A and B are shown apart, each in its own frame.
Chain A
Amino acid sequence: MKINIVKQEGKYMEMEFSGEGHTLLNLLQDSLLEDKNVEMAGYSKPHPLMDRSNLFIRLRRGERHLDTIKKAVANADGKLDEFLADFEKSLAETVS
């Protein structure tokens, strides 16, 4: 995974990703949008053959974009943990 911050002006930030696509960014975008301080979050893949994706974030207050992303990552991670625990539980019930 390669990351490059293209633009960081006030409440707005734009990031480029390489080696990652819809799989991670869609999850991340969705997780960012659950944050009340995020006014806008989106991503785009300019061309399917190019290894480049862009992530855009605009906050309502403050300029702590990276902390917001970290929070979104933790949120998505928590959901995955919850899913895995749930899945393993119902699996154990089914097998037994």
Chain B
Amino acid sequence: MNTKIVSLNEDTIRFLVDGVNAAFANSLRRTMVAEVPIMTVEDIFYFDNSSIVPDEVLAHRIGFVPLTTDLDNYVLPEECDCEAELGCPKCRAGLTMDIEAKDDTVTVYSGDLVPEDPSIAPVSKRIPLAKLAPGQAIKFEAYAQLGQGKVHAKWSPVSMCVYQNVAFVDVEDEAATKECLDACGDDVAVIEGGVLKVIDIQGFERCRRCRELVRHEEIIGGLKKDEFLFTVESTGGLPPERIVKEAVKMLKQKLSTLKGKIEADDLHDEIRDFDLPEINEGKLYSVGSGDFDEDEGGNEEPQGDDVA
């Protein structure tokens, strides 16, 4: 196995992995997309919202605002020992907003969210959330939690995470190819031992000169089965290389859970097809929503007779 970082900047990493199969690559990709946790707003308590954006629409928008994540100091709420409905300082971080338009129309941006913990703050300050006409105001308290992309897409740490095969093509005119490659850059293709290694096929074919030299069919015919180019683009919550490392850790965790269960001979669990998560009834969520009391359900008069 061999890996090589093709490019790395603050939000995107591209790397090559040689000597793994598609199952490995896909498991890694799936873990990055759906399992690596990230911080996002989950609960919002409004004190005031007189803007034209309804509470739930605004809440949905705020949920999708990427927040920088501190994975070392926070835990997933389900793994926290506090069992509090809104969490504790170990499993949630607060953000507040208090903004009012006085004489002019005001655009509310993600930068107006005031973080309680500076390490859990909006990645970008320039995401528009709502507009306020003079006299309108928004005031709320929001709680961010760690979560996983498989629960909701807002918790996915990557905006793009893909892999593709690398192609090896025999070149006829090495001088011409070299000249072209110099223009394209070595993160698109390189010549290795007289063979052209196309790392980024789309990038390669974007160059007209390269496209004339090597036909598309030749590239497709020369795909190498066990070498992949990964492109991981972070939403900004975690550095991209951290996402890759966390994904490996989480996959290893899964494997060790499986191993532990086999060793403990814990292999006769009851499996239900639709295991719904327990719904947290009552308490804060039901304020004002009118609690439905099961005991009173039977006292309702049968309907239909009155109509006749």
Contact = CB atoms under 8 A, between A and B. Distances in A.
Nearest to A2: B269
Nearest to A31: B23
Interface stretch (B2-10, B37-45, B131-139, B284-292): B2-10
Interface residues of A, number: 45
A83 B255 contact: no
Interface string B240-256: 01001100110110111
Interface string B266-278: 1111111111000
A68 to B, nearest CB: 10
Nearest to A67: B262
B119 interface: no
A26 to B, nearest CB: 5
A69 B266 CA distance: 14
Contacts of B4: 90
A3 B255 contact: no
B34 interface: yes
B17 interface: yes
Interface string A27-70: 11110000000000000000101111000000000000010011
Give the size range of B's interface with the partner: 35 or more
Secondary structure of the A contact surface, majority rule: helix
Interface stretch (B25-33, B87-95, B152-160, B177-185): B25-33
Nearest to B3: A86
Contacts of A77: 252, 255-256
Nearest to B31: A23
A81 B252 CA distance: 8
Given A1-B257, A86-B3, A87-B15, A26 B23 contact: yes
B5 A90 contact: yes
Interface string A12-25: 00011110101110
A90 to B, nearest CB: 5
A4 B271 contact: yes
Given A87-B245, A91-B241, 14 more contacts: A2-B270, A3-B258, A3-B269, A5-B268, A22-B27, A23-B30, A24-B258, A26-B27, A51-B271, A77-B255, A80-B248, A87-B248, A90-B4, A91-B5
Interface of A: 1-5, 15-18, 20, 22-24, 26-30, 47, 49-52, 66, 69-70, 73-74, 76-77, 79-84, 86-91, 93-95
17 contacts: A2-B271, A22-B30, A23-B31, A23-B35, A24-B27, A50-B273, A52-B271, A52-B273, A70-B263, A73-B258, A73-B259, A73-B262, A79-B24, A82-B1, A84-B245, A90-B3, A90-B15
